[in-house]
Amino acid sequence: MGSPIVRVNLDVYDFFKSQGRALVNDAADFTGMNGFYLYRGRGGGNPARKTT
């Protein structure tokens, strides 16, 4: 199963930051109104990417 797309808040931001993930958006964007998708790329890398 792929990564689910979920609404995100600061708890989600803090979780991924504590896991050492690279997030492209600022914490201010994690308002509970935007979605989040964990993108691993073709090579299976692990950067987290947040999209709106």
Distance of CA 35 to the CA centre of its chain: 8
This prediction has a pTM of 0.61
State the distance between the two ends of the chain, measured CA to CA, in whole angstroms.
22
Distance of CA 38 to the CA centre of its chain: 5
Percent of the chain with pLDDT over 90: 17
Higher pLDDT: 16 or 2? It is: 16
User: In the prediction, which pLDDT does 43 show?
Assistant: 64
Report pLDDT digits (tens) over 13-30.
999 899 888 888 899 999
Higher pLDDT: 46 or 42? It is: 42
21 contacts: CB under 8 Å, gap ≥ 6? 46, 47, 48
- From CA 24, how far away is CA 27, in angstroms rounded? 10
User: In the prediction, which pLDDT does 6 show?
Assistant: 73
Domain parsing of the chain, residue ranges: 6-36
